[in-house]
Amino acid sequence: MSNYCLETTNLSHQWNARTPVLNAINLRVPTGSIYGFLGPNGAGKTTTLRLILGLLKKQQGEIKIFSWQWETHRIAILRRIGSLIESPSIYSQLTARENLRVLQRVYRCPQTRIEEVIHLTRLTDTGRKRTGKFSLGMKQRLAIAIALLNDPALLILDEPTNGLDPEGIIEMRELFRQLNRRGVTILLSSHLLGEMEKLITHTGIIHKGQLLFQGTLDQLRNEHGASDLETIFITLTKSNHE
């Protein structure tokens, strides 16, 4: 049994012959980790996550999740994953609980999970307010609640703190730590280096479709002789640009 919850091998993708997006990405996300997939906008983070979740057709490479090949265990894998990629998918005319009830029936998970995830994401006071009237931060909380509905073993989130105010970001950070203590492996994609540095245990740094580093934060700091993630990141990406 692998120590990795998620592995990709030589994962490559291009929109056309002249536009490569990913070049042989070998992600190794340890089971039980909070893995920060870091890079500037346009680096290839979202494309990688969409390939991992089957939202884009794989062109080249291999994907294994829970030590299973994606192609042969797709349904079993998806049952154990929660995800949020790009914009939250919610019904604007429904309340938070009504949105969750629709998906609870689709996922066939216990109805008790609705109130559990409402409480976890601090949406208990939304009542009968339609989600079309929610702020961006509240919509983001609901999207994370949806991602948690099936009690996933692996949580994949693309820019999960988007739209949250500083207090909301702190609360979300604590939620991720709480979930991780319960055994959930978390893969977070972000360009907010300062926030990720406070949370993650492992990191992969991507720039222009290339994985420049992968390992623990301590390994990253030791390799580059600096304690500040932002400084290391700028050095790495500048070297890759040159």
**Pair (174, 214) in one structural domain:** yes
pLDDT at 241 over 70: no
pTM given for the model: 0.91
CA-based nearest residue to 220, from 158, 228, 104, 156: 228
Tell me the C-alpha distance between 3 and 29, whole Å: 9
**Pair (44, 66) in one structural domain:** yes
Residue with tokens 């509240």: 138
pLDDT digits (tens, 9 = 90+) for 208-233: 999 999 999 889 888 887 777 888 88
The pair of structure tokens assigned to 99 is: 């949105």
**Range of the structural domain that residue 194 is part of:** 4-80+153-241
**Pair (163, 237) in one structural domain:** yes
**Pair (138, 221) in one structural domain:** no
- Average pLDDT value for the chain: 89
The pair of structure tokens assigned to 153 is: 């073993």
Which of 123, 151, 179 finishes a domain?
151
Q: In CATH, what number is assigned to the domain containing residue 160?
A: 3.40.50.300
Tell me the C-alpha distance between 217 and 24, whole Å: 22
Residue with tokens 């949406």: 123
More confident residue, 8 or 170: 8
Angle between helices 229-241 and 217-224 (to 10 degrees): 60
**Pair (70, 164) in one structural domain:** yes
Task: Return the bridge partners of 64, or none.
Answer: 7, 69
Which of 101, 125, 151 finishes a domain?
151
The pair of structure tokens assigned to 231 is: 């400084």
For residue 173, what are the CA distances in angstroms to 6, 137, 185, 195? Answer: 22, 14, 14, 9
* Rg (the chain; Cα; Å): 18
Count of the separate structural domains present in the chain: 2
pLDDT at site 135: 85
Tell me the C-alpha distance between 105 and 108, whole Å: 5
The pair of structure tokens assigned to 171 is: 């609360």
pLDDT digits (tens, 9 = 90+) for 34-71: 999 998 888 899 999 999 999 999 999 999 999 999 98
